Each structure stands twice: as C-alpha cells, then as structure tokens.
Chains A and B, each alone.
Chain A
Amino acid sequence: MNYQPSDFLPIFVQLAAAMGFIVFTMIVTHILGPRRSTKLKDEAFECGIESQGDARTPISIKYFLVAILFVLFDIEIVFMYPWAVNFKQLSWTGFWEMAVFMGLLLAGFVYVIKKGILKWEK
C-alpha cells in the first residue's frame, strides 16, 4: 500500500465540520442566552466567600517537575516508536540495543522516584 500526502486531504472535511459545529454553537448560545450582569456574579466564585486576590499565583514546583520529566520521557518514548515499527527486521540486535536504552531510561526513572519527585506532602 502506497501512502501519499493526499491521504490526509479528507481531514480538512473533518476540521471544517468540527470548526463549523463549534463556531455555530458558540454564536447561537451567545445569542440565545440572557444577559444579567451583577457585581457579585462578576467576582471569581469561591464558595460564596469574598474572593481574595486573583489566581495568578505561583503553583507548587511539583507540577513543573512532572512536566519536565514528561518532556524527557516522552521524547525517549518517541524514539521507541520507529524501533517498534521495525522491530522484526532489527531482530535481536535491535532488541538488545533498545534494552540498553531502556535500562538507562529506567535508571534515570528510578533515580527520580527515589529522589522523591512524587512525594507530594514535602
């Protein structure tokens, strides 16, 4: 089977349909709904208690660590996709090479876990 860039063309139909649906819905709901703005309603909702400051606050560093780790591991996983597709041709050589790669990946992984990246209480 030959794959061609033109295989992707029908995706524009889907994109157009999805966009059309979304834009249509947004406009319709905007027109149909009533509009009653009050001062209290404009405030951020915090269970009825008067809201303090806004939400542009620093976030726990743990989330950033998770994000950075994700980038690392995701890129390593991306390396594995072409390997998996050609797995049978690469045979044992490829397997052991990938095993070494995964070993290093896991070493880093174990290190990070032991270092306490998932200890959310700290």
Chain B
Amino acid sequence: MTPVIALSLFGIINLFLGFTFKRQSLQVVTLLFIICSMALTAMDWNHEYLWFGDMMKTNNLSINFSLIIQLAGLLVVAFSNGFGKDEVYTQPAEYYAILLFSLVGALLMVSFQNLIMLFVGLEILSVAMYVLTGSDKRNLRSNEAALKYFLMGSFATGFLLFGIALVYGSTRSLYISGILYNLSHTAPESLPSFLYAGIILMGIGLLFKISAAPFHFWTPDVYEGAPTIFTMFMSTVVKTAGFAAIYHILDVTFGGFQKNWIITVYFITIITLILGNISAAYQQSAKRMLAFSSISHAGYMLLTVCANQPSTSSNILYYSLAYTLATAVSFAVLMVVAEYQTGRTEKPENFDALNGLAKNNPSLAFAFTVALLSLAGIPLTAGFWGKFFVFTDMFNKNLTYPIIIAVLMSAVGIYYYFKGIISVYFNSGEIEKIETSFLFKIALWSACIGTLVLGIYPTLLKSIF
C-alpha cells in the first residue's frame, strides 16, 4: 500500500506548496505525484501482499482498479487547468490536495480486507467529495448540491455501517477472510436472519455511492451543482471505487448467498436502467444528461455484478475504464465550452450552448463525439466492448429479460447521446476558437485515442484484466 502512504504525503506536501507555487506549476506537480503513485502501485504487480495488520490486500485485481482510479485522477488534474484564473475564490492547492486525499480513500475501497477499512475508505472519499462539491462558494446551486450530497451521503454511510454491524454480529468477524471462514463453517440454517438484512443494508450504502436507482435522487442535482471538474472526478473515481467495493462485497464475500440478494439487486438494476435512460432523454442541460447517463451506466455495470461470472471482475474493470475515459472527455469538452459561454448564453451547460462547436473547434467536437459514441456503445469505441462483455456475461447466465431491457435502453441512450453530437455538428451557432492549455490537449487526445484503441483492439487490456 505504498501508494496510499505516498498519496497522503503528497497531499500534505501539496497543501504547503500552495503557499509558494503558482497554480499552473501546482498542476504539473500534482500530475507528477499521481504518476509517481501509479508507478508505486504498479510495482506490486503479480504479488499478493497483506498490509496494515491484514486489513488490506493488494493483488492484480486491486492494482488494476487502483490504476484506473488514479488514471481518472490524472485526467481530472490534467483537465483542471489550475482551476482558472480566479485568484481570490479558488484555492488550487487545497483542491489538488483534497483530490489526492480522496484518491487515498478510493484506493482503500478497492483493496480492503476488513469492513472497517471499507468504511474508512468510503468516508475519506465521500467527505472529500462533499467539500469539493461545495467548493464554488459563491454559487447557490453548488452550496445546495454540497448540502444535499452531504445529508444523503451521511445517511447512506449510516446504512452501510448498520449493515456492517449486522454482518459482524452474525459472522463474528470484520475481516473478509474471517467472514468467509465463519460462513463456510456454519450451517446456513443456523445463520441468524439479520445477516441477510446486513448484506442488503451494506449493498444499499454502496449502491447509493454509485447512484443506482432508487438511491439516485441526489445525482442530477449534485452533478449539476458541483463545478464541472469535480463532477468529472465524482462520476469517474467514485463510481469505479464504488463498483470495486460492491463487487468485493456482493460477489466475492457474499457470492454464496446470491439467492438472498439477487432479487433486490435485479430490481434495482432494472429500475436504474429504465430511470436513468428515460430521464436522460428528457434533459435540456448536457451536464444533467451526463448525470443521468452515469446513473444508467451504473445499471449496466450492476448487470454484470448480478451475473457473477468468473469474468465479472475483468468486465467491471473494462467497463470502468471505458466509462472513465469517455466521461472525462465529455465533461472536459463541456467544461471548456460552458466556460466560454458563461455570460454569452443564459444556460451555458445546455445542449444549445454546444451549437456549432465543430465550425471553429473541430478537435474539441471530434473528441466530444468519440466520447459520446463510446458512452452510447457504438462499435469501434471502448464503450461498445464494455457493453458487449456485460451482455455476454448475462447471456452465459441465461438472463434473457434483463438483456432485452438493457438493449432497449441502449437504444434510448443512442437518442440522447446523439442529441449532443447533432448540436455540435449540425446546429448553427457562433463559437469562436477556444484556447486550451497544452496539458488539456494531451489529456484530451490520449483519452480519445485510448477510447478508440480499446474499441478496436479490446484484448490489449482484456488479457491483463
């Protein structure tokens, strides 16, 4: 867990660098920090280590998740541009430090071996996110979003803790290994029934974090209210870490009790898919649409959790990566356009604000299109393969009806994603050339190329995952 220690220290260092460094150099330093901790993460490849009194375990799966999470962090930092030029009201050093701290939380969530560690990781991640959501202090919507997120999030954490307590009460252990041992050495009849309540409650706590319906009500408002750059962070890092945790809890730890939770999770999955996609189709604001799209993607990923096949972990990884790249790019483009449009149009985050982007900014328009296509799951993009693997899993498990719903909902998805593409390419509008920084361009293009490469040649990573 060297990256956990490293990231924590880097965060503290970042706080102090804020007193002397300019915001652009802070950005570069933070990028270096994340790359450094990625290297530290990768160093444990092909080894299994237990850390911190056996409370955490790193193996290839957790390393893959950690790398994806840190990649998302890397993209967010690269897109951040040092948080603009507002010297008085933005504190880049603090933002970067909090980003690093929340990455620590995410890393704990993907490699926990003890339920307390899961809780600690989730809290580190969430508390950091509450703060970042409200970081636009002068914006009422941002404040509202932060408060909403905080209240709902603490509730969800309460559910998770209650679930942990029940599970602990029935299995006499907080360690995953201990729980598995006790479960396998106890006759199923003699297990107390509140164990099942505990599993469901833990599931609810985590499902809230990945914004699965019906625990999704905070998502649109929070995503819309938070500054776009942190929305990007939220929708990528939190989701990936949340899915890693859900997979670890539901499939790895309580996979043997599938019949007890599967109905609930099915129900949640299908509602998530339908609600996410249908509501997304009605949105006027592109940011809000992306929020609902993130709900719907949670639905797709939940499908593979339901299937619980040997390939599930690698599918979640692949899907997370594809989703991370595409979401980061789409939010990034949306962010620069909205920044440009602020003061020019009434609602700079609506689809209308994107009208005619392609005329003077062909590269931004292209990247945006690739990202949206990947989110929609059009072939030759990573998103297609992500969905394809998920559906294969379902098919292997003979889950026909969920597949039908999922495919139908993908069709709905194509509609609203294409709304964005249409306004970029076919609607007329006046957007001048938008200047972006060098790092922004690099990040944008590498994410785009990554999406395309993964779309054309999925086995490149599928063999590692």
Contacts and interface: CB of A to CB of B under 8 A. Distances in A.
Real binding pair: yes
Interface of A: 104, 107-108, 110-111, 114
Interface string B1-45: 000000000001001100100000000000000000000000000
- Chain A residues touching B, majority SS: helix
A114 B12 CA distance: 14
Contacts of A108: 12
10 contacts: A104-B12, A107-B12, A107-B16, A108-B12, A110-B16, A111-B12, A111-B15, A111-B16, A114-B16, A114-B19
Nearest to A104: B12
A29 B165 CA distance: 53
Interface of B: 12, 15-16, 19
Contacts, number: 10
Nearest to B91: A115
Contacts of A110: 16
Nearest to B8: A104
A52 to B, nearest CB: 31
Contacts of B19: 114
Nearest to B13: A107
A108 B12 CA distance: 8
Contacts of A107: 12, 16
A34 B15 CA distance: 62
Given A107-B12, A111-B15, 8 more contacts: A104-B12, A107-B16, A108-B12, A110-B16, A111-B12, A111-B16, A114-B16, A114-B19
Nearest to A111: B15
Q: Which 4 A-B residue pairs are closest in the complex by CB-CB distance?
A: A111-B15, A107-B12, A114-B19, A111-B16
B150 to A, nearest CB: 16
Contacts of B12: 104, 107-108, 111
Contacts of A111: 12, 15-16
Nearest to A107: B12
